[in-house]
């Protein structure tokens, strides 16, 4: 039986993106798309909903206000452009908190949290990108008119500077390519690499220390972007003992 999903967002583009992501996963089925919390109430009261994708900032009634006024709500994944509501979403026991723009890899991670909650015996989703990286732990990037092989375990961090991307390796070597940082990020396994800023991706295993505003790798301080902070600190705290 497929997981019945409802999307609530006042932005048409956001609705369409989540719909496309749902269509890419065989076990998910979209019940409806709503552009207001009031409209969503009708669907929640009259249809079986297994998973709710809920925007926060909406006119009239916010996503948080909607959730507070539903008895026995389904598991909720918040989708928002604002990171400041993360703490409140945890108080509401939200399943996950996705910051727009939402990469498909991050969407997959949220769906796997649903599986762990509701279908604990089910295997998690593996995307073609994850499968490819696991079988071939390297990537090729174009640099100086050649396709250069880079072993993933040698990457310390990746920095976007104007129209180029610099890949810093453990042997102090730097590979420069004209690819975008987003394109490179799509080829990296999420469990090993983390986007921490619009200009930086880091190897989680290479992190020497971190604070709320930055990360240290190879004696370099890398900033944590405001829009990435909630996700970054959540991932790092999962590896922390306090």
pLDDT band at 216 (very low <50, low <70, confident <90, very high): very high
Residue 63 per-residue DSSP state: H
Which residues share a beta bridge with 215?
210, 222
List, edge to edge, every strand of the sheet that includes 174-177: 174-177, 164-169, 155-161, 200-203, 193-197
**Residue 48 maps to a domain:** yes
Round to whole Å and give the CA distance between 27 and 102.
Answer: 20
For residues 151 and 49, state if they share a domain. Answer: no
* Interval 162-187: pLDDT, tens: 889 999 999 889 999 998 898 898 88
Q: Is the peptide bond before 101 cis (omega within 30 degrees of 0)?
A: yes
pTM strictly above 0.75: no
User: Please, what is the end-to-end C-alpha distance for the chain in angstroms?
Assistant: 41
For residues 77 and 176, state if they share a domain. Answer: no
For residues 107 and 156, state if they share a domain. Answer: no
> Greater confidence, 83 or 28?
28
Mean pLDDT of the chain: 86
- Determine the distance from the C-alpha atom of residue 145 to the mean position of all C-alpha atoms in its chain, rounded to a whole number: 32
For residues 84 and 132, state if they share a domain. Answer: no
Length of the chain equals: 242
For residues 25 and 111, state if they share a domain. Answer: yes
Unique residue bearing structure tokens 């998910």:
28
For residues 52 and 158, state if they share a domain. Answer: no
For residues 29 and 102, state if they share a domain. Answer: yes
**Residue 242 maps to a domain:** no
Give the other-Cβ count within 10 Å of 16's Cβ: 13
Residue 147 per-residue DSSP state: E
Unique residue bearing structure tokens 């997959």:
108
Number of structural domains (the chain) is: 2
Q: For residue 149, what are the domain limits?
A: 128-237
Q: Which CATH number characterizes residue 113's domain?
A: 3.40.50.2300
* Interval 123-166: pLDDT, tens: 666 554 454 444 458 888 999 889 999 999 999 999 999 889 99
Please, what is the Cα angle at 66 between 63 and 68, to 5 degrees? 110
Last residue of one domain, picked from the residues 83, 118, 153: 118
For residues 166 and 108, state if they share a domain. Answer: no
Q: Given this model, what pLDDT does residue 136 score?
A: 52
pLDDT band at 242 (very low <50, low <70, confident <90, very high): low
For residues 143 and 193, state if they share a domain. Answer: yes
Last residue of one domain, picked from the residues 91, 118, 145: 118
For residues 21 and 63, state if they share a domain. Answer: yes
For residues 136 and 194, state if they share a domain. Answer: yes
Last residue of one domain, picked from the residues 87, 118, 149: 118
Q: Which CATH number characterizes residue 159's domain?
A: 2.40.50.1020
For residues 85 and 162, state if they share a domain. Answer: no
Q: Given this model, what pLDDT does residue 42 score?
A: 87
Q: Is residue 67 exposed (0-12), middle (13-18) or buried (19+ Cβ within 10 Å)? A: buried
Q: Given this model, what pLDDT does residue 134 score?
A: 46
Average pLDDT over residues 49-56: 95
């Amino acid at each position: 039986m497929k997981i019945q999903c409802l999307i609530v967002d006042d932005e048409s583009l956001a609705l369409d993106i989540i719909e496309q992501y749902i269509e890419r996963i065989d076990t998910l089925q979209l019940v409806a798309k709503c552009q207001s919390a009031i409209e969503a109430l009708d669907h929640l009261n009259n249809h079986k909903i297994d998973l709710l994708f809920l925007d926060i900032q909406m006119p009239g009634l916010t996503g948080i206000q909607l959730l507070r006024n539903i008895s026995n709500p389904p598991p909720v994944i918040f989708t928002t452009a604002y990171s400041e509501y993360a703490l409140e979403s945890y108080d509401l026991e939200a399943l996950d908190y996705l910051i727009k723009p939402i990469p498909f890899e991050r969407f997959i991670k949220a769906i796997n949290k649903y599986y762990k909650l509701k279908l604990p015996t089910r295997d998690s989703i593996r995307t073609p990108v994850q499968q490819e990286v696991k079988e071939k732990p390297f990537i090729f990037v174009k640099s100086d008119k050649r396709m250069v092989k880079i072993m993933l375990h040698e990457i310390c961090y990746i920095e976007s500077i104007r129209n180029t991307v610099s890949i810093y390796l453990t042997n102090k070597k730097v590979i420069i390519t004209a690819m975008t940082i987003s394109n490179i990020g799509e080829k990296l396994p999420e469990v090993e690499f983390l986007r921490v800023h619009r200009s930086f991706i880091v190897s989680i295993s290479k992190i020497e220390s971190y604070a709320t505003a930055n990360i240290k790798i190879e004696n370099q301080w890398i900033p944590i972007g405001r829009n990435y902070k909630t996700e970054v600190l959540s991932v790092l705290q999962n590896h922390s003992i306090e």
